[in-house]
Structure 1
Amino acid sequence: MQALSRGSKGRGRGRIGARPAYPVECFAVRERHANFAENGFHWHLLIKGVDSIPYKEVIQPLWRSARHGIAEIGHIERFRNPRAIGYVTKYLTKALTTSEKGTRQVKRERKVLMQDEEGHSEYITETVVEQATVKPNRKLSKKRTRCYGS
C-alpha cells in the first residue's frame, strides 16, 4: 500500500521504473491462512479512491517485490453491486472480533548483579529467549493512504 500510494520518480535521466501515485484509502483485515505453518496470515483489502489500478503494470510488480517473488495475488475484483459490497464488508469485519496473533522467539539480554565466592559483586550479561506477539507491519504513508482494520 505504501508503494502504491507514494509512487516513484524512477531512476536516472529516463526515469526508469517510474510509477504514478494513487490517492487510495483501504480497509484491511488479516486472516489466518489455511496452511498457517507455511504461509502464516494473509490480508483482505477493500480499496477506494481510484476507479482502477492496472494489475499487470502496477499491482503485480509491487506484490512480487514485497514478497520477494514468492507469491502471486490470488484474486482482485471490482464490486459494483451494493449487495456484494455488503457481503464483503460483513466478511471482512468478522475478523475484528477475533484476537488471534502470531508469536515469534525474541532474544533479550539483561544485566544481572551476581556475587562470587569472595563476596564481590559484579554484573553479568544473561540472555533470555521469550515468546513475543507478532504485530503486522502498518507503516503506511499518512499523506495519501489511510488504512483501517485489524
Structure 2
Amino acid sequence: MKSSNRLLTIFGIVIGIMILIAIILVMALPGNGSVSLLPEDTPEGTVQRFFIALQNEDYIKAYTFITPPTTDKIPYDAWRSSYYRSSEKSVWKATIGKSKITGEEATVEVIIDVFRPQGPFSEPVHTNRMNFSLRRDGSGWTIISPVDLWWLY
C-alpha cells in the first residue's frame, strides 16, 4: 500500500473514532432528558418555566411569564412574530446562572446556546449571554425584559 493511501486510511479511521466519541459524549452527558424544576415562586424558576414552555413550543404558556415594563402589554400575535421560525426546528439550550434579588426586582443570568451549522468552517454554536429582568407579581415573578425572542435565532 502506498504511503498516501495508508495516510488517508489512518485519517479516515481517526475521523470515525472522533465522530463515535462525540456521539457517546452527547448521549452520556447530563442535562439530556428531564430537568428538575426550580421553585415556582423564585426568579430562576420563572425563567426556567419560560424556557421549558418555549422548548415545548407552548408559546401561549410562555407568553404568560412576560410583562413589559410599560403598562401596555404586547399583543400575543406581535410577541409571537418576534420569534422567527424557519422550516427547520431550532436547537438550543438555556443554562440558568446567577441571580440577584433587590426588593421587588430581580436579575437572572442566562446563557443560551443556539446550534446552527452553516458550513464546514463556521462555528456551529452561537452563544448569547442574557440578563433577564423580573418584577415581583404577587407571590411570583414576571419577566419584564427581554420580552422578544430575537436571541433564539
The structure, 1 or 2, with the larger RCO (C-alpha pairs under 8 Å, 6+ apart) is 1
What TM-score do the two structures reach when normalised by structure 1? 0.26
Q: Which structure has the larger Rg? A: 1
| Higher strand fraction (1 or 2) | 1
Point out the structure with the larger helix share: 2
